[in-house]
Structure 1
């Protein structure tokens, strides 16, 4: 089992109950939820400035695509996991290798996708 103790996480999710559930799962995995945001503008602002180890990003924020947030995180070399109820529809090709969680999901799936995102990130740093 991967050890996520102390990893700092950003949660971008517009459904309050879902955000709370995700935050609880992350805490159970040993992560620290540094920020949890629901609106696109605020998510972009936070993604530009926050010190985090990874992010969990809902693709649809109240009808708006959250891909601007994903681009900011990618530019900052911050691993991310997409979370969506719509499958890979709407994910740009540049993000096709990023892990995605299909809603609803359980903690074991979250753990697996975070581990994949972190491993992919380490490999991309090692390859240059």
Structure 2
């Protein structure tokens, strides 16, 4: 997003969220902070398809853990790990799979506020930039 201003200006963020209203609000918050939002998408299949498309590299992602119909975002998280893309979980599910790579990720408990989401992403991206 050329000329964008805000704490996430120029950053490309994927949103995976199955609840339409939550996804819409998160997209609005991130866009308002200057991010280019990829998605939002509600399923593993759609998220993985987006990850396979050539285009701008992702800077980060926001993943809901439970995507309905028994589907979880862990396959997406695994693919992001393979690519070195940082992500956070924004979820109402307090349980995170017993995988050390997922357990060490930032987890925001729903309902998430705009301030919580933006602050978590800013910190995530700062940490990545300094690594």
Partner Cα distance (1:88, 1:117) in 2: 21
1:35 matched to 2:39? The reply is: yes
User: Which residue matches 2:67?
Assistant: 61
Q: Deviations over 1:87-126 (max 9, x none)?
A: 2433522122211111111111001211222133234xx3
How many pairs align? 123
TM-score normalised to the size of structure 2? 0.84
User: Which residue matches 2:58?
Assistant: 52
Q: Hey, which of these two has a bigger chunk of strand by percent?
A: 1
User: Which residue matches 1:25?
Assistant: 29
Give the deviation of 1:30 after TM superposition: 1.2
TM-score normalised to the size of structure 1? 0.85
Give the deviation of 1:75 after TM superposition: 0.6
Partner Cα distance (2:76, 2:32) in 1: 25
User: Which residue matches 2:79?
Assistant: 72
Q: Deviations over 1:46-95 (max 9, x none)?
A: 23446211111111111211100000001101111111001243352212
Structure 1 unmatched ranges of 5 or more: none
